[in-house]
Amino acid sequence: YIAIQQLENHILVPRIIGESVGVHPAILMVVLVVCSQVFGLLGAILSAPLSAMARDLFLYLYGRLSDPPRPAGVLPERLRPIAALTEVVAQSMTDQSAPSPPTSEDVPRTRPLDEPR
pLDDT (tens digit per residue) in 53-104: 999 999 888 887 876 666 666 556 665 666 666 777 777 766 665 566 666 6
Domain residue extents for the chain: 2-66
Q: Above 70 in pLDDT, residue 22? A: yes
pTM: 0.47
By three-state DSSP, how is residue 52 classified?
helix
> Which is higher by pLDDT, 73 or 1?
1
| DSSP calls for 59-74 | HHHHHHHHSPPPPTTP
Count the Cβ atoms, other than its own, within 10 Å of residue 33.
Answer: 13
* 52/59 Cα distance (integer angstroms): 11
Does residue 28 contact residue 47 with C-beta atoms inside 8 Å?
yes
